[in-house]
Amino acid sequence: MIARTTFAGFGGQGVLLMGYVLSHGAMLKDLNVTYFPSYGAEMRGGTANCTVTLSDRKIASPVASHPEYLVAMNYPSLAKFEPLVAPNGTIFLNSSLVEEDPQRDDVKVVKVPTVELAREVGSERAGNMVMIGAVCAETGLLSLEETIAGMKAALKGKEKFFELNQKGIERGFSFIKEGK
Amino acid sequence: MPSEKMLMRGSNVVGEAAVRAGCRYYFGYPITPQNELPEYLSWRLPEVGGTFIQAESEIASINMVMGAAAAGARVMTSSSSPGIALKQEGISYMAGQELPCVVANMMRGGPGLGNIAPSAADYFQATRGGGNGDYRTPTLAPAGGQELAEMVFVAFDLADTYRTPVMLLGDGLMGQVMEPVVFPDPIDPASLPQKDYILDGCEGRDPRAIYSLILDPPALMEHNLKLQAKYDLIAEKEVRYDTVELDDAEIIVVAYGTAARIAEEAVHELRAQGHAAGIFRPITLWPYPKQQLRELARDGRKVAVFELSLGQMVEDVILSVGERAPIYFYGVPGGVIPTPADVTDFLHSALADDGKVGRRIEV
C-alpha cells in the first residue's frame, strides 16, 4: 500500500498542520511516512503546501509525481495541483472558499464546507481539522481514533487546542459518514 | 538505550544525532534552509551542559570550531551553500592543522546567493577541497531520515580517527522532510579516546603548538606527504555505498542523497514496466566508490547519472567507468525538484538512446 496526499492552501489555513496530523497518526500505527513541506518565506498570506506519503513498505521518494489525493484549501491550489492528481484519485475541495469545480472528469471530487462545519463546533479556526477528519474518513487512511491520536501527537505541549480540534475532526468524519 | 521512534525533520535529526554522538559545542551563523538545526541545538546543547554560540559571521564561527577542536572537543558547525563557501578558509586551515570537526551543508541553489530552494551543486566544493592547498575532506552524503542520524555518528568518528574536518552533505529538502527516526545510544563524551595533540594546558608536560604555517618548503612537503598518506588510508578503508536491485540490472542509475531517493522510485516504476533497472548510491562522495562502480559497469550495462545539478558527480562516474559502459546524464539545477516521473522519462530515453531527456556523455 502507498498513499500520497498533497495539502495546499494559503499560509495561515493550517495546511502544514493537516499533513502533520496525518503523518503522526500514520507513524503511531507503524506505517512508514514522509512529510515534505514547501512554503514561501512569509508566515501568513503566502502559499503553503506539503506532501505526505504513507506506506507499509519502505518509502523511496518524499517527492510525489502524481498524488492519489489532493486537498485544495483555496482556488490557486486547485489550479496548480489539479493536473498532477493521479487518475482515479480524489480532490478534496474547501467549498467554503472555492466556488469553481475541478476540470478533470477522471477524479472524484469531495466538497467540504470547512468554515460552516467548523463554526458549528465552536470556531472557524478548526476548519483544517474538519478537513483532515473528512480526508481520513473518506480515504480510510486513519480511523477516527487514529486521527485524534495523530492530532494530539502533532500538537504535544499545546493541550489547550485538543478539545476544539477533536470536535473538528469528529465533525469531518460525521460529514463524510452521514453525508451532511 | 536507543530512542523511541520520533517524527523529526532532517535538520533536527542532525542536531539530535550530534548531541548523542558526544558533540557539546556548536558555532554557526544563520542561513536558510538549515536554520532549524541551530535553532534545535540552541536549546538542546544547554540541556546536556554544552555550548551553543551564534557567531557574528560564518568565518568567526569556523574559527571558533577550530579553537574548540584544538582544545579537544567534539565540535560542529553547519550552514548552507554560500555560508559553507565562507567557511572554506577555516576548513583548509583545520585540514593543515589536522583538527577534527563536522561541517554540515544543507545545500541550496547557487552560484552566489542563488536561492533558498533545495539543490545539490556543491559536490565539487565538498569533494575537491573548497579551500586552498593539497587536502581532502571526507564527505558523507546520506539519503535522509534514519541514515542521516547514523551518518552523523560516522562523521564524528571519522573526524576523530583521522584528525580531519568531515563534510556532511545534505540539501534543503532533506533538512525539511520529516520521517520517523530511532536514534542510536548516546555516547558520553568523557568515554571518548584521549587525544594526545590537544592544547589543554602543559603543566607537567612539554608545550604543544597547532598551526598550518610551515615556511620551510621541505618541511611543508613532508607535511603534505604525511597528509596524503592519511588520505590514501581513508580512500582505502572508508568507502561507503549502497545498491538497490543491481543483480540483473541492464541500466545502473547512479545518484546520491535526495536525488537517489527520487531515482529509486523511478527504478521501481521501470521494473513494473519490465525494465531491469537498479541503483548505485555512493554514500561517501570522497572517497568515491570508484572500484565498486567500475566493477559493476560491464556486460553491456548502461550507466545513467542523475543529479540535482548540471553535472558534478558525473565526473567521478566518468573517472570510475571510463569507456567500459555508455554513460548518460540528466541534471536539474536551480532548486527545481524533479519528480520520479521525470527520472523515469530520462531512463527510458537512456535505454532507447534517443537523446530526448538528458544526454549521452562523450568520454
Residues B38-73 as b or e (16 or more Cβ within 10 Å = b): bbbbeebbeeeebebbebeebbbbbbbbbebbbbbb
pLDDT at B363: 86
Q: Are residues B219 and B144 in the same domain?
A: yes
Select from A17, A29, A56, A63 the residue whose CB has the most chain B CBs within 10 Å, as the one to mutate to test that interface.
A63
Q: Are residues B46 and B81 in the same domain?
A: yes
CB spacing of B173 vs A34 below 8 angstroms: no
pLDDT tens figures, A168-178: 999 999 999 99
Residue B1, in any domain of the structure: no
pTM of the model: 0.95
Q: Are residues B226 and B250 in the same domain?
A: no
Q: Of the residues B183, B213, B237, which one is the last residue of a structural domain?
A: B237
CB spacing of A35 vs B179 below 8 angstroms: yes
Q: B-chain residues within 8 Å CB-CB of A32?
A: 180
pLDDT at B3: 81
pLDDT at A19 over 70: yes
CATH number at residue A74: 3.40.920.10
Strand order in the sheet with B75-79: B51-54, B25-28, B75-79, B101-107, B165-171, B139-140, B284-286
Q: Are residues B221 and B273 in the same domain?
A: no
Distance from CA of A109 to the nearest CA of B (A): 24
Q: Report in angstroms the alpha-carbon separations of B305 from B70, B166, B311.
A: 40, 25, 9
pLDDT at B337 over 90: yes
pLDDT at B97: 98
Portion of chain B with pLDDT greater than 70, in percent? 100
pLDDT at B1: 64
Instruction: Supply the range of the domain harboring residue B225.
Output: 6-237
A32 part of contact set with chain B, CB < 8 Å: yes
Q: Which three cell numbers, joined as nine digits, stand for A112?
A: 467540504
Distance (Å, rounded) from C-alpha B288 to C-alpha B254? 12
A64 part of contact set with chain B, CB < 8 Å: yes
Instruction: Give residue A43's pLDDT band: very low, low, confident or very high (50, 70, 90).
Output: low
State mean pLDDT over B92-108.
Answer: 98
pLDDT at B2: 74
**How many distinct structural domains can be found in chain A?**
1
State mean pLDDT over B154-175.
Answer: 97
pLDDT at B301 over 90: yes
Q: Are residues B79 and B14 in the same domain?
A: yes
CATH number at residue B198: 3.40.50.970
Instruction: Supply the range of the domain harboring residue A120.
Output: 2-178
pLDDT tens figures, B213-268: 999 999 999 999 999 999 999 999 999 999 999 999 999 999 999 999 999 999 99
pLDDT tens figures, B185-221: 999 999 999 999 999 999 999 999 999 999 999 999 9
Q: Which residue has the cell 472558499?
A: A97
Portion of chain A with pLDDT greater than 90, in percent? 91
Q: Of the residues B237, B264, B285, which one is the last residue of a structural domain?
A: B237
Q: Are residues B165 and B290 in the same domain?
A: no
Residue B300, in any domain of the structure: yes
Residue B117, in any domain of the structure: yes
State the ipTM, two decimals. 0.92
Distance (Å, rounded) from C-alpha B35 to C-alpha B41? 10
Nearest-CB residue to A33 (from B179, B262, B342): B179
Taking residue A30's Cβ as centre, other Cβ atoms within 10 Å add up to: 10
Nearest-CB residue to A34 (from B179, B264, B338): B179
